[in-house]
Structure 1
Amino acid sequence: MTQTRTPLSTPSRLTASLALLALLSGCGSAGLSTGTDAPQGEVPAEYSDWFGWRPEANISGDDWQQINRAQEFIEQGRHDEAIERLEPLMARHIPPAFYEMAKLHDDGLGVERDPAEAARLYGRAIETPSAIRGQASLKLAELYLAGDGVERNERLAFHLLDQALKEGVERAEPILADLLAEGGEQIGPDPERAQRLYEQAAQRGDANALEALAEAHGPNGWRETAPERAMDYAKRLEAVLEDQAAGGDTGAMRRLAGLYTADGLLGDQPEQRQAWLVRAAEAGDEDALGHAGTALLRGGDPQQGMALLEEAAERGDVDAMTRLGQALLDPDLGPTRPAEAKRWLEDAVEAGSVDARVILGAALIEEARERAAPMGLDGSGDDPATTLAANALSTPPEVRRGIALLEEGAEQDDPLALAHLGSLYLDDALVPSQPWLAVDYLERGHELGHPWATQQLGAAYLAGRGVPADGRRAEALLREAAEQGQEGALRLLGDAYLEGEVVPFHPTRGEALLEQAAEAGDTAAMTSLGEAYLSGPLEEQPQRGHALLEQAARQGDAYAMVVLGRAYREGSGVPRDLDEATRWLTRAREAGHASADDAMVGVNRDRGALGDINALIEAAEAGHPGAMADLGRAFLNGEGVQANPEAARAWLERAANAGHTGARAEVGEMLLESDPQRGMTLLQGAADAGHAGARLALGRALLLGEHVEADAERGLDYLRPAAEGGNPHAARLLGQAYLEGNGVEADPARAREWLDVAVESGDLSSRANLGRILLRGEEGMPEDIERGRELLHDAAEAGHPGAQATLGREYLRGERLERDTRQGADYLLQAARQGHSSARLALAEAYLEANGLESANREQALLWLEEVMEADSDMALETLHELISDDIAAAR
């Protein structure tokens, strides 16, 4: 920092006399402003010694020589000798000595920086008037404004700056003007005085004052908006900075570059900005070297830009290392060089760069995703078991490293790191998805203002992932993200309006948003809009839809290829053409889209139905595991070919041996009864690879001992993650285990929790089972007739025979539910029609009881019932219905 030298000569008696006259006349009392300025409060009493009048310090010529000598030592870096000169003078209360010592503590020269001690010494320096009172007041004001070593105090800083001005320190003008322009917590605004102060400083060519005046008269400024006046100040600032730059001031060169940014005072002028940054770099400004490199990257000369960034990075510029690493990963700037990029980013990480941590972490995650996609490890499609998320222990080291770096960035509240972590934990591609954790990251990223985090959070509220679905919240978030430039948010909200599930159905709005996103280049929006024009819900526009889909497909959108393939298969908006369908679906499969294989199966089925099963057979015989599995399923289900269980099993076996996890799971289930050991081995392998169906089948077999030796605890280990993920079948099995104490201690409350999960997930068996238990107060659960009836009714209406049978018996008995013989008989008949044995028996018993034949042979009654049921005559069944209900009613 440049030191302010006290004059080598003693202040003249004339100067001292004038100062005394001014003080006696009241102009300097307490440092108060003139009466035309807004009052800002009195000087706090405890600081009155800094402002009150007293005789000027008696400083001799010898004292000044000692002070000047100390200043020379400071300039030469001989700080200890300077301190030795200053301490005796301080002991004699010589103000300039306190001032020079304060600056040493303020700047950390010769001593450890101590702003609190500097503030104390500045205060001592201004207690007695002297030639340095104004400079010391300015320095002390800056500490109080910054809260540096002292508690921030705007009012005290105001009076100190006022005093500095009265002492003739012009440098205080723009600082005081900054304080008064819009006011603060303790100081009211005084724009008139601020304008005068800035104008005075501007007249002397003060760059800060000119910049402040240009901003004041610009948009959202604190003075009246006057574009011409603002531009005049900006041009004057440009001239001042150019003069300083001509003298080699690199700081001025960088400020000039800042004038030409998009939000700069002179508007976006990339060439000018780049030129000044390059000049600053050439003049030796190492920080400017990196900024110049960045400007060249954006300005169309990436090769030169990278050269400058590399030079800056070699000199230790951490930001340059970070920007260079990022540039080397960007395909838009030329061939990528990942290894070199990682080296620079690792160096920046080592130097403490949070940005580098986030960029490197995201790059490692993306690299792993790209490697996983061609292998079918993207956690989606027909073969989910091959996902890397199958087992946390299988997470590759580079993914673990990427996560660690992103989490370090998140700890520093980096919004992009939070957005990346949210994306990672919403997806099953590389790690098991954890939607609640993802939403926590995204909420933090949104609060910090990152538009991508806001978009993903909106999408989570749309899908109900990690949070309950909330259309209003989703809509607000997506609109906010769209306003911040996220085209994907426009598409997500447009899609939601067309679906009409979480937000109200509004095709006009949806179409407008998708059009906007498509025009901005969002290929997924082109695809959504094209699909909507082909197959609804928008008004059919086949030509427009086809054109949008082809545009998106040409730009690499794999789902657009899938939609085109389906359209050609179905003849939707285009002539039906299975060859074109195959071409587009093949391209989609090559691009790695998860649903391409499924769509191709449909094409192959159509070819098979037309006598061309060879298309699917050829792919299977060529060794494609997915095609083998598809052909096996086709033979199994008789889809496109004649059903052939042996051929089905043979092709599924081949697919399983080729590593197709879905096929392993299917063959494993097939073999549980005939070859349980091999079946369990296949299921185990598929489950270890993360196949949800295999884990469920394995858990069920082990829990219930179906075809294998029971191992309830191990079975529950497989079922619990699936149940926690909302799988209704797993939740039902867990609930049953807690009911029966199978593998766990019997716990009706926990059983109720898991059965409720299964019910909410749509499991009819759980609905019927829990309804029966609550209605009757069984299995240790308290009776809840109303809830039980509600659950049973819902299950029965959905066609569950057990629920129908239970309700039928309860309505006939009239013990827990109000007797309704007709409805009871109706439910029993519905259950009996579906072959429910106890319903059939209950019908027979009801008939016998209604006719006073309780002791009659039940087998005869069942035979009678069987004849009626086998007759499949609606009239006979209705007659039976009326007979039973009427007889029971009469008997009652």
Structure 2
Amino acid sequence: MNTTLISTRRTSTRYFTSLIVVASLAGCATSQEPPGQDHARAVPAEYAAWFDGGLEADISSHDWNRINRTQDTIEQERYDEAIEQLQPLMERGLPPAYYEMGKLYDQGLGVERDGARAAHYYGQAIERPSSVQGHASLNLATLYQEGDGVERNDVLAYYLLWQAKNANLGRDAEARLARLLAEGGDGVQADPELARELYAEAASEGDESALQALADAYAPGGWLEEDPARAMDYAQRYAVVLEARAREGDTGAMLQLASLHAPDGQLGDQPDQRLHWLRQAADAGDNTALAQAGRAMLEAGDFNQGVELLEESARRGDIDAMVHLGSALLEPETGRPEPVRAERWLNSAIEAGSVDAQVILGRALVEGQGGLNDLPRGMGLLEQAAERNHPLALAQLGSLYLDDERVAGQPYIAIDYLERAHEAGHPWATQQLGAAYLEGHGVPANGPRGEELLRSAADQGQAGAMRLLGEAYLEGETLPFHPSRGEELLQAAAQAGDTTAMTQLGEAYLEGPLDGQDPSRAIEMLMEAANQGDGYAMVVLGRAYRHGNGVEPDLDQATLWLTRAQETGHESADDALTYVQRDRGAQGDINALISAAEDGHPGAMADLGRAYLNGQGVGQDREQARYWLERAHGEGHAGAAASLGRMFMDDGNMSAGIDYLEAAVARGHVGAQSDLGEVYLLGDHVEQDVERGLEYLTNAADSGNPHAAHLLGQAYLHGEGVDQDSEAAERWLEQASDGGSLAASASLGRAKLRGEGAIAQDIAHGYELLNEATEQGDTGAQATLGREYLRGDILERDRQKGADYLVEAASAGHSSARLALAEAYLSSRGLQHANQDQALLWLDDVFESEGQLAAETLRQLLTDDSAADAAGEVDVSAVD
């Protein structure tokens, strides 16, 4: 607690001995009573003596001289001697002696600070009126307001403040009393108008706290009727008082003036004035001001000057300056991090005991921030900070241990860290803990607990928690489906700046489950998220422009957004863009793509290379394909490296192909991981390495690649490189199917329908899966059902259905379906042992020459028993 020293020890420079002055001061002690019944409960009986205005203490001039000499002793810091001098005076019941002893305990001068003993002596000092009664009342009121050594008691504080005010001390009794009445207290009724009058009285005497309080009160959101002119007048008067103190070298006043000119200051955002006063304080020797000035310069956009000031402050030993300097150098506005310099200053702060520096450096090392990258060392620093229960360190470690790709298989350790950070009140930890309970990650799944935690984090302004909770309500899996709640939470998260929430909300409006809303608003939200770098928002926009969902169909715009998504590395961009390019190729428009590639756009170069490779929109030309893909690869395009890898492996150059695929994997291309995994698992033209293949495929599948999950499912289903495992096969195939792979659905359906490989036969479920896949146009599922309807072994024979499915699959180019029709043709001609190649040529001719009549021709062919039987004997594949 801060108390005024000289002014509270003496009414001027020394207690006056003049009886006239004493008498006049005594009169102050019995001035008007406070309006107690209007604002506060009655004074408790045990404290009535403090306010009854009894007989004034009899203090002689000799007593005053002894008290003044004791004050001199205190000023000379001879506290033991002063206490000895006060003891006999207190034994005689002299209020000034009690008051001086109370201050010693209040301020911890010569004794251990003790608020309770200070309150006791102040109480003794005010039981009889004297010239110190007002000062002691004010000091005692402070103790009761703060609950310092005594139980907090706003009622006693109220009466003590009135008593101090009536003593006309020239201190801050009016302002303190006004503050209590402005806010009210326990047993004290608020009275804004009386508070205003008291503040105005104090302000007229130049009281800084009163001027500041009235400036706040009249400002927007204040407790008086809003009056910007008055607010500014009081703020300016407050600044004048501060400037007078600043001219005398008061650095505290300089810092307060700087805050007045801050963005949220009472005089409005005036960066030049703010910096002026911070520099003044720094020049006057306040090292913290130098650091504040440096931070202000950074905020104002003057990075170099800000760093210079922070570095100067850091050299003077300011630990906070070291921390801010290190942080600024890791993420400079110039875009050129200085990791060595940043680490040096952060290490200096760590050596000086800064836990914040440990956390900042630790997070930079584990997140690869500013060019730093050392996971073990970063975790070590975070562990040290966690030992001191730093909430962010605990939350960051929890995040790391939940990330199996970085710290494998230790979710229970993560939960322990997150529980500790949550108990420490860190909302990000609460969010992560809620998500863990919702997903059953590291703890048993518990939807209600997860919901409770996420809502708590959301209430603390954690936008990610709002998004996760809104997402869960819209999905209706871990929590009950509640679209209105989901929409409300996603809107709140989006308004808080969460771009992923904007994307999810925009997608939900366009594609469900919130469809039927204003599509133009959905497009606006997706545009905003995309322009902030959200890759999936770009994908959704690309789909919208391709399909004309909420906008007019526009393949140029679709290509633009999907190319941008591809540049962000979003895993679904490549496939989406392939469809758009296929549409553009069908329309014969390749010029825009060529132009963009020639302009040096990596994504466009890669797309053009693939177009030449596949003959999409241009003539197939492998040399041109390689040229454009190499250029894109040289620009760091992961997709181009993956395409080159596949191209070289198709050409039989496995060594070069693998090199390119590994380069793509190093850049984060999940599809390349899948390709490498397949090659190593099956030993396809390379030395088989099952362990490596499984590692690549598992990483790709865990990253959401459905093709990798499908390959893993097939491997465990048929025992390709691994032992057959029905549980693993079904799990991976289901994951691939859930990830959108129709081929995986068809593979799982075929395996269950026939009881293939490691999976037990389940005709009903297998048929259901195949039927769902055929409805979505999967040719493998069509071919499988076609064969089974023709054979009649598993499904009831239905040649019409069998012919329809088989012809549809063959029309779409399914190779084994085409072979089945070729066999049917040979059998119908009595040429069962003839050349299949000739039959396939006949089939091609039928498709090319008869057009729409081809399907009917082939269906009629399958009415022949021998032809139908021959077609049914071909082992068609669920995967082409």
1:283 aligns with 2:284: yes
Taking the aligned partners of 1:17 and 1:277, their CA distance within structure 2 comes to 48
1:143 aligns with 2:127: no
| Equivalent runs, 1:61-460 vs 2, <5 Å | 61-170=61-170, 171-333=172-334, 335-349=336-350, 356-367=357-368, 396-401=375-380, 404=383, 430=406, 437=433, 439=435, 446-451=458-463, 454=466
SS at match of 1:292: helix
Taking the aligned partners of 2:66 and 2:176, their CA distance within structure 1 comes to 32
| Alignment partner of 1:576 out of 590, 603, 608 | 590
Are the structure 2 counterparts of residues 665 and 543 from structure 1 closer, same or farther at C-alpha, using a change threshold of 3 Å? closer
Contact kept, 8 Å, 2:454 with 2:465, in 1: the verdict is yes
| Alignment partner of 2:615 out of 603, 606, 609 | 606
1:508 aligns with 2:530: no
Question: What code does the residue aligned with 2:789 have?
Answer: R
Shift of 1:263: 2.1
Shift of 1:271: 0.9
Are the structure 2 counterparts of residues 255 and 620 from structure 1 closer, same or farther at C-alpha, using a change threshold of 3 Å? closer
Contact kept, 8 Å, 2:678 with 2:697, in 1: the verdict is no
Counterpart in the other structure of 1:849: none
Counterpart in the other structure of 1:833: 789
Taking the aligned partners of 2:383 and 2:557, their CA distance within structure 1 comes to 44
1:680 aligns with 2:676: no
Shift of 1:249: 1.8
Shift of 1:240: 1.8
Shift of 1:197: 0.6
Contact kept, 8 Å, 2:612 with 2:622, in 1: the verdict is no
TM-score for both structures, normalised by structure 1 = 0.67
Are the structure 2 counterparts of residues 836 and 160 from structure 1 closer, same or farther at C-alpha, using a change threshold of 3 Å? farther
Taking the aligned partners of 1:43 and 1:55, their CA distance within structure 2 comes to 19
Are the structure 2 counterparts of residues 227 and 413 from structure 1 closer, same or farther at C-alpha, using a change threshold of 3 Å? same
Are the structure 2 counterparts of residues 162 and 505 from structure 1 closer, same or farther at C-alpha, using a change threshold of 3 Å? same
Taking the aligned partners of 2:658 and 2:28, their CA distance within structure 1 comes to 105
Taking the aligned partners of 1:654 and 1:512, their CA distance within structure 2 comes to 42
What whole-Å deviation, never above 9, does each CA across 1:812-834 have from its counterpart, x for those lacking one? xxxxxxxxxxxxxxxx9989427
Counterpart in the other structure of 1:389: none
Question: What code does the residue aligned with 1:296 have?
Answer: M
SS at match of 1:798: helix
Counterpart in the other structure of 1:669: 681
TM-score for both structures, normalised by structure 2 = 0.68
Taking the aligned partners of 1:192 and 1:620, their CA distance within structure 2 comes to 77
Taking the aligned partners of 1:88 and 1:158, their CA distance within structure 2 comes to 32
Taking the aligned partners of 2:154 and 2:510, their CA distance within structure 1 comes to 56
Question: What code does the residue aligned with 2:435 have?
Answer: V
Counterpart in the other structure of 1:785: none
Contact kept, 8 Å, 1:364 with 1:402, in 2: the verdict is no
Shift of 1:277: 1.3
Question: What code does the residue aligned with 2:525 have?
Answer: L
Are the structure 2 counterparts of residues 875 and 709 from structure 1 closer, same or farther at C-alpha, using a change threshold of 3 Å? closer
Taking the aligned partners of 2:641 and 2:257, their CA distance within structure 1 comes to 67
* Higher RCO (C-alpha under 8 Å, 6+ residues apart): 1
Question: What code does the residue aligned with 1:576 have?
Answer: I
Question: What code does the residue aligned with 1:439 have?
Answer: A
Counterpart in the other structure of 1:475: 487
Are the structure 2 counterparts of residues 707 and 606 from structure 1 closer, same or farther at C-alpha, using a change threshold of 3 Å? closer
Shift of 1:194: 0.6
Shift of 1:176: 0.8
Are the structure 2 counterparts of residues 356 and 606 from structure 1 closer, same or farther at C-alpha, using a change threshold of 3 Å? farther
Shift of 1:612: 0.8
Contact kept, 8 Å, 1:436 with 1:465, in 2: the verdict is no
Are the structure 2 counterparts of residues 797 and 472 from structure 1 closer, same or farther at C-alpha, using a change threshold of 3 Å? same
Are the structure 2 counterparts of residues 246 and 548 from structure 1 closer, same or farther at C-alpha, using a change threshold of 3 Å? farther
Question: What code does the residue aligned with 2:772 have?
Answer: A
Shift of 1:174: 0.5
Contact kept, 8 Å, 1:361 with 1:405, in 2: the verdict is no
SS at match of 2:39: coil
Are the structure 2 counterparts of residues 369 and 222 from structure 1 closer, same or farther at C-alpha, using a change threshold of 3 Å? closer
Shift of 1:69: 3.4
Shift of 1:313: 2.2
Shift of 1:71: 3.0
Taking the aligned partners of 1:112 and 1:608, their CA distance within structure 2 comes to 88
SS at match of 1:38: helix
Shift of 1:529: 5.3
SS at match of 1:219: coil
Question: What code does the residue aligned with 2:272 have?
Answer: E
Contact kept, 8 Å, 2:255 with 2:289, in 1: the verdict is yes
Question: What code does the residue aligned with 2:265 have?
Answer: G
Contact kept, 8 Å, 1:566 with 1:581, in 2: the verdict is no
Shift of 1:500: 3.0
Contact kept, 8 Å, 1:271 with 1:299, in 2: the verdict is no
- Larger mean Cα displacement after TM superposition, 622-631 or 165-174: 622-631
Shift of 1:273: 1.2
Contact kept, 8 Å, 2:558 with 2:580, in 1: the verdict is no
Shift of 1:520: 8.2
Question: What code does the residue aligned with 2:290 have?
Answer: L
Question: What code does the residue aligned with 1:212 have?
Answer: A
Q: Percent identity?
A: 38
Are the structure 2 counterparts of residues 831 and 506 from structure 1 closer, same or farther at C-alpha, using a change threshold of 3 Å? farther
Shift of 1:116: 3.1
Contact kept, 8 Å, 1:253 with 1:276, in 2: the verdict is yes
Contact kept, 8 Å, 2:382 with 2:394, in 1: the verdict is no
Shift of 1:136: 1.7
Unaligned residue ranges in structure 2 (runs of 5+)? 412-430, 437-452, 666-671, 775-783, 800-822, 829-858, 869-880
Are the structure 2 counterparts of residues 352 and 536 from structure 1 closer, same or farther at C-alpha, using a change threshold of 3 Å? farther
Are the structure 2 counterparts of residues 462 and 799 from structure 1 closer, same or farther at C-alpha, using a change threshold of 3 Å? closer
Taking the aligned partners of 2:175 and 2:529, their CA distance within structure 1 comes to 47
Contact kept, 8 Å, 2:648 with 2:657, in 1: the verdict is no
- Larger mean Cα displacement after TM superposition, 505-514 or 687-696: 687-696
Shift of 1:51: 2.7
Shift of 1:698: 11
What whole-Å deviation, never above 9, does each CA across 1:473-509 have from its counterpart, x for those lacking one? 4433343344445566545533443333466554121
Question: What code does the residue aligned with 1:662 have?
Answer: S
Taking the aligned partners of 1:541 and 1:412, their CA distance within structure 2 comes to 53
Contact kept, 8 Å, 1:174 with 1:209, in 2: the verdict is yes
Taking the aligned partners of 2:367 and 2:230, their CA distance within structure 1 comes to 50
| Alignment partner of 1:587 out of 591, 602, 618 | 602
Taking the aligned partners of 1:248 and 1:182, their CA distance within structure 2 comes to 34
Question: What code does the residue aligned with 1:571 have?
Answer: R
1:5 aligns with 2:9: yes
SS at match of 1:169: coil
| Alignment partner of 1:798 out of 758, 764, 772 | 772
- Larger mean Cα displacement after TM superposition, 480-489 or 197-206: 480-489
Taking the aligned partners of 2:582 and 2:464, their CA distance within structure 1 comes to 36
Shift of 1:82: 3.0
Are the structure 2 counterparts of residues 523 and 117 from structure 1 closer, same or farther at C-alpha, using a change threshold of 3 Å? farther
Question: What code does the residue aligned with 1:647 have?
Answer: G
Unaligned residue ranges in structure 1 (runs of 5+)? 373-394, 590-595, 637-643, 733-755, 780-787, 801-827, 844-865, 881-892
Taking the aligned partners of 2:569 and 2:767, their CA distance within structure 1 comes to 45
Please report the RMSD computed on the Cα atoms of aligned residues, expressed in angstroms.
5.6
SS at match of 2:520: helix
What is the number of residues matched between the two proteins? 737
What whole-Å deviation, never above 9, does each CA across 1:422-480 have from its counterpart, x for those lacking one? 98789777556989647369766543325566567656777889878865444333433
Shift of 1:286: 2.2
Contact kept, 8 Å, 1:561 with 1:584, in 2: the verdict is no
